[in-house]
Amino acid sequence: MSQDFNELDNGVLTNLFSSRAVAQILDFFLDHKEFDYPPSEIAKKTGLSFRTIFREMPSLERNQLIFNNRRIGKTNMYKLNTDFEAVVLLEKFVLEMSQLRTSELRMDAQNTIIEVPESESEIDIPE
Protein backbone atom coordinates (compact mmCIF):
# COMPACT_ATOMS: atom_id res chain seq x y z
CA MET A 1 0.00 0.00 0.00
CA SER A 2 2.78 2.47 0.87
CA GLN A 3 4.48 1.77 -2.47
CA ASP A 4 1.28 2.74 -4.30
CA PHE A 5 1.10 5.95 -2.30
CA ASN A 6 4.73 6.81 -3.12
CA GLU A 7 4.16 6.21 -6.82
CA LEU A 8 1.17 8.55 -6.77
CA ASP A 9 3.01 11.08 -4.64
CA ASN A 10 6.06 11.20 -6.95
CA GLY A 11 4.07 11.58 -10.15
CA VAL A 12 3.99 9.59 -13.34
CA LEU A 13 6.99 11.23 -15.03
CA THR A 14 9.15 10.93 -11.93
CA ASN A 15 8.46 7.22 -11.81
CA LEU A 16 8.89 6.76 -15.53
CA PHE A 17 12.10 8.78 -15.83
CA SER A 18 13.66 7.61 -12.60
CA SER A 19 17.11 8.11 -14.09
CA ARG A 20 18.88 9.54 -17.11
CA ALA A 21 19.52 5.96 -18.19
CA VAL A 22 15.79 5.41 -18.74
CA ALA A 23 15.71 8.37 -21.11
CA GLN A 24 18.76 7.04 -22.98
CA ILE A 25 17.19 3.60 -23.33
CA LEU A 26 13.93 5.09 -24.59
CA ASP A 27 15.83 7.31 -27.04
CA PHE A 28 17.56 4.21 -28.35
CA PHE A 29 14.28 2.33 -28.80
CA LEU A 30 12.57 5.30 -30.43
CA ASP A 31 15.42 5.53 -32.93
CA HIS A 32 15.47 1.75 -33.52
CA LYS A 33 11.85 0.71 -33.23
CA GLU A 34 11.75 -1.70 -36.17
CA PHE A 35 13.72 -4.50 -34.50
CA ASP A 36 14.19 -6.20 -31.17
CA TYR A 37 17.48 -6.05 -29.25
CA PRO A 38 19.28 -7.98 -26.54
CA PRO A 39 20.40 -6.08 -23.42
CA SER A 40 24.05 -6.34 -24.55
CA GLU A 41 23.29 -4.47 -27.80
CA ILE A 42 21.27 -1.82 -25.94
CA ALA A 43 24.19 -1.32 -23.55
CA LYS A 44 26.68 -1.06 -26.42
CA LYS A 45 24.59 1.43 -28.44
CA THR A 46 23.64 3.64 -25.48
CA GLY A 47 27.02 3.57 -23.75
CA LEU A 48 25.33 2.39 -20.56
CA SER A 49 26.62 -0.51 -18.53
CA PHE A 50 25.06 -3.93 -18.86
CA ARG A 51 24.15 -3.71 -15.17
CA THR A 52 22.30 -0.41 -15.71
CA ILE A 53 20.32 -1.92 -18.59
CA PHE A 54 19.25 -4.84 -16.40
CA ARG A 55 18.31 -2.47 -13.58
CA GLU A 56 16.07 -0.27 -15.78
CA MET A 57 14.44 -2.76 -18.16
CA PRO A 58 11.90 -4.16 -15.63
CA SER A 59 10.47 -0.68 -15.03
CA LEU A 60 10.15 -0.04 -18.76
CA GLU A 61 8.41 -3.40 -19.16
CA ARG A 62 6.13 -2.75 -16.19
CA ASN A 63 5.11 0.57 -17.77
CA GLN A 64 4.48 -1.28 -21.06
CA LEU A 65 6.90 0.90 -23.02
CA ILE A 66 8.96 -2.09 -24.12
CA PHE A 67 8.25 -5.80 -24.13
CA ASN A 68 10.12 -9.06 -24.32
CA ASN A 69 9.52 -9.87 -27.98
CA ARG A 70 11.21 -13.28 -28.05
CA ARG A 71 13.98 -15.32 -26.57
CA ILE A 72 17.08 -16.54 -28.42
CA GLY A 73 18.77 -19.19 -26.32
CA LYS A 74 19.01 -17.62 -22.88
CA THR A 75 18.82 -14.05 -24.19
CA ASN A 76 15.65 -11.96 -24.07
CA MET A 77 15.08 -9.69 -27.05
CA TYR A 78 13.31 -6.41 -26.26
CA LYS A 79 11.30 -4.19 -28.53
CA LEU A 80 9.50 -0.85 -28.28
CA ASN A 81 5.77 -1.33 -27.70
CA THR A 82 4.51 0.71 -30.65
CA ASP A 83 0.99 -0.67 -30.12
CA PHE A 84 0.75 1.18 -26.82
CA GLU A 85 -0.82 4.65 -27.25
CA ALA A 86 1.52 6.18 -24.66
CA VAL A 87 4.52 5.15 -26.78
CA VAL A 88 2.95 6.73 -29.87
CA LEU A 89 2.38 9.95 -27.93
CA LEU A 90 5.90 9.82 -26.46
CA GLU A 91 7.33 9.46 -29.96
CA LYS A 92 5.28 12.45 -31.12
CA PHE A 93 6.44 14.47 -28.10
CA VAL A 94 10.10 13.64 -28.81
CA LEU A 95 9.67 14.65 -32.46
CA GLU A 96 8.03 17.95 -31.53
CA MET A 97 10.73 18.74 -28.96
CA SER A 98 13.54 17.96 -31.41
CA GLN A 99 11.92 20.20 -34.05
CA LEU A 100 11.58 22.96 -31.46
CA ARG A 101 15.23 22.59 -30.50
CA THR A 102 16.34 22.64 -34.14
CA SER A 103 14.26 25.75 -34.74
CA GLU A 104 15.77 27.46 -31.68
CA LEU A 105 19.30 26.58 -32.81
CA ARG A 106 18.60 28.05 -36.26
CA MET A 107 17.25 31.25 -34.73
CA ASP A 108 20.27 31.52 -32.42
CA ALA A 109 22.60 31.07 -35.39
CA GLN A 110 20.77 33.75 -37.37
CA ASN A 111 20.84 36.16 -34.45
CA THR A 112 24.51 35.67 -33.71
CA ILE A 113 26.43 38.77 -34.68
CA ILE A 114 29.97 38.23 -35.78
CA GLU A 115 32.13 41.24 -35.13
CA VAL A 116 34.37 41.92 -38.10
CA PRO A 117 37.21 44.44 -37.69
CA GLU A 118 36.66 47.61 -39.70
CA SER A 119 40.30 48.09 -40.63
CA GLU A 120 43.41 46.02 -40.95
CA SER A 121 44.92 47.80 -37.95
CA GLU A 122 42.38 46.03 -35.74
CA ILE A 123 43.43 42.58 -36.94
CA ASP A 124 45.90 40.87 -34.65
CA ILE A 125 48.47 39.12 -36.87
CA PRO A 126 51.16 37.15 -35.04
CA GLU A 127 54.68 37.86 -36.26
Give 31-73 pLDDT, tens digit per residue: 999 999 999 999 999 999 999 999 999 999 999 999 999 999 9
> Smallest Cα–Cα separation from 25: which of 15, 35, 17?
17
Q: Is 93 strand, coil or helix?
A: helix
Distance between CA atoms of residues 17 and 10, nearest Å: 11
Domain boundaries, the chain: 2-82
Mean of pLDDT over the chain:
84
H or E, element range at 67: strand 66-72
Name the pLDDT band for 120 (thresholds 50, 70, 90).
low
Name the pLDDT band for 97 (thresholds 50, 70, 90).
confident
pLDDT at position 5 is: 44
- Global pTM reads 0.70
- Written out in words, the top-level CATH class of the domain with range 2-82 is mainly alpha
